[in-house]
Amino acid sequence: MKSGLDDAFNPETVADVGASSKRGYFFLRSFLRFKGRVYAVNPGRSEIPELGLKVYPRVTDIPDKVDFVFVETPAHTVPGIIEDCVKKGVKLVAIFTAGFSETGRKEGIELEEKIKEIIRGSKTRVLGPNCLGLYNPRIGLAWRANLPLDAGDVAFISQSGGLANLVILYGHTRGLRFSKVVSFGNACDIGLEELLLYFKDDPETRVVAAYIEGIKDAKGLAETFLEVSLKKPLIVWKGGRSEDGARACASHTGSLAGSHRIWSAVFRQTGVVEVKTLEELVDTALTFSFLPPIRGNSVGSISISGGASVTISDLLSEAGFRVPPLREETIRLIDEEVRRVYPEGISVINPVDVSAAYYNPGVVSTVIDVMTGDPNIDLIIFDLPVMYLAYSWRQSDAFRGEFMEALIKSGKNAIEKGKPFVVVLSPVGDEALWVRLRDTLVKEKIPVYPDMRRTCDALRNAKSYYEFLEKRRKAESHLADELEAPLLKVT
C-alpha cells in the first residue's frame, strides 16, 4: 500500500479537465468556491469568458503546480490525461467519466487496466473511474455547487456518487457536518480499505460511515473493520443484500455483492454498525457525532400526550431499552415544579407525561435537569410535538422563545454532563415550523429525529456499538487476568 492520503486529500491547486459549456460548467462552477487556485483544461478552447477563466490545452501547460485534477472527458481520452498528470506530479486525480470496468465490456476493462499501469510507481493517486471524487469542505472543495462548505467530524466513503450527494445534503439539513466525503467508484487505485485506514487516523474525523456495494478483494477487510471500530464508530450501509439488489449492483458499479449472511456476520464480529437506508445512516451518524457514549439502557422519556408515551415505550422496548420508574426523589422534584404551574398535579412515574404543564419553561428545565441528575437514567428523550406547540405559540411569541431557551439550555447541559439527550420532532401539524425548530436545535448540537421509530433505531445502533466496545474491554481485561492468574496461584 502506498503512503498516506493526507497530502492528496488537501490540495492547494485544482484543475478541471474537460469542463464543457454543454453541461453549463457544472463541476467547474463548484470548484470556483475552492480556497486555493483553480485552473480549467480543455484543448478545444482558450478561455471561458462567463467565468473569467483562461483555459489551458493540457494539464502540463499550467504554469503552476497542480495537486488535484478532476477529469470529465470521454473515456478513451482519459489514459492520455493521466499520463500528463503523472508527468506534472499531480497528487490526486478523480475520474468522473464512466465506461470502464463497470460496463463489464472488454474495452472498458482494458482502459481501466491502462490507467493502473500509467500510475504504477508514480506519486499520482486515482479515485474512480466512475466517481465524484473528493469533497473536502474545510478547503472549499466540492463537486456540486449546492454542497455546503461548513466542515465537521463525520467522514463518508461511498461506492455510489449519487448516494454521496444524498448523504451530504440530507445530513446537512439534519445538522451533520463532514470532515471529508470520498466517492471512489470503480476503485482502480484508492479503495475502501485504504480509505477506512486513512479515516481511522484522521484527527478531524470522529465518526466513519461507508456505503459499499461490493469489493474485489475481501482479504483483510474484516481486520480493517475491527481496527477502525475499536477506535471510532464505523457505520456501514451495504447495498446488494438481496438477489435483486445484487443484480442492480452488478449493473451499477460492476461489483460482486457477495453473500449478505457473511457480511452480517463480519459486521457483528467487528463492531460495525449496519444500517439499511440513507435515513438510518444519517440518523445513526448524527447520534454518534452529537452525543456522548450511551452507557446503559434506562431511558427517561418526556412527552405531552398519553398516546405518545405508550408508543415511545413500546418502540424503546423493542429496541432493547427500558423506561423504568424514576426514583422517588426525582418524582418528588418534578411533581413539585409541575404543581407550581398546574395545581392539580399529575403523576409522573416515567414516561413523564406532564400534559398541560408541558408548555411551561420552568417545567421543561426541571424535568430535564432532575433526569440529568438521576443516576438511574442513562439517556433522555424529549418528545416535542409541533402540532401542540404550533397552537400554543400562535398565542405568544415570547413564550416560544422562553420554551426553546429552557429546552436548549437543559438539553445541552445534559449532553455536556455525559448524559445523551435527544429530541423527537415530528412535522405533524406545521411543516414550516418543524424545519425552523429543527434548525434551531441542531445548531446547538442537540440531535433531532423526525419520528419515534427512527429515534429508537438510531439509539439502538449507537448503543450496540458501545456495548461491543465494552464487551471487548471486558474480554481483554479477562485475558489479562488469565495471564496473571498463574502467578497469583504460585504465591
Provide the binding-site residues for its own copies, judged by CB under 8 A: 146, 158, 160-163, 165-166, 169-170, 173, 211, 213, 239-245, 247-249, 251-253, 276-280, 304-311, 313-318, 322-324, 347, 349, 351, 353, 385, 387, 390-391, 426-429, 431, 435, 451-453
The CA–CA distances, whole Å, from 381 to 148, 313, 332, 351 equal 29, 11, 20, 10
Task: Give the residue with the Cβ less far from its own copies, 83 or 213.
Answer: 213
The CB-of-319 to its own copies minimum distance in angstroms stands at 10
For the record, the C-alpha cell of 167 comes out as 448523504
List for the chain the helix, strand, coil content (%; round to 5). Answer: 50, 15, 35
Taking the C-alpha atoms of residue 124 and residue 88, their distance in angstroms, rounded to an integer, is: 9
| Shortest Cβ 1–its own copies spacing (Å) | 27
Minimum gap (Å) between residue 343 Cβ and its own copies: 13
Is the backbone peptide bond immediately before 129 cis, with ω within 30 degrees of 0?
A: yes
Neighbouring C-alpha atoms within 13 Å toward the C-beta of 376: 12
Nearest to its own copies of 105, 332 (CB atom): 105
Residue given cell 480499505 in the structure block: 193
Q: Give the SS3 label for residue 274.
A: strand
Task: Give the sign of the dihedral formed by CA 239, CA 240, CA 244, CA 249.
Answer: positive
Contacts of 210 (CB under 8 A, 6+ apart): 156, 157, 158, 192, 195, 196, 234, 235, 236, 237
Instruction: Give 59 or 304: the residue with its C-beta nearer to its own copies.
Output: 304
Q: Which is nearer to its own copies, 355 or 413 (CB)?
A: 355
Identify the CA nearest to 157 among candidates 199, 120, 101, 203. Answer: 199
CA-to-CA distance for 2 and 189, rounded, in angstroms?
Answer: 10
Least distance between its own copies and beta carbon 399 (Å): 14
- Minimum distance, C-beta of residue 331 to its own copies, in the bound complex (Å): 13
Taking the complex as a whole, the smallest distance from the CB of residue 63 to its own copies amounts, in Å, to: 34
134 vs 386, beta carbon nearer its own copies: 386
Among residues 48 and 248, whose Cβ is nearest to its own copies? 248
Instruction: Output the smallest distance, CB 145 to its own copies, in A.
Output: 9
Nearer to its own copies, 118 or 249 (CB): 249
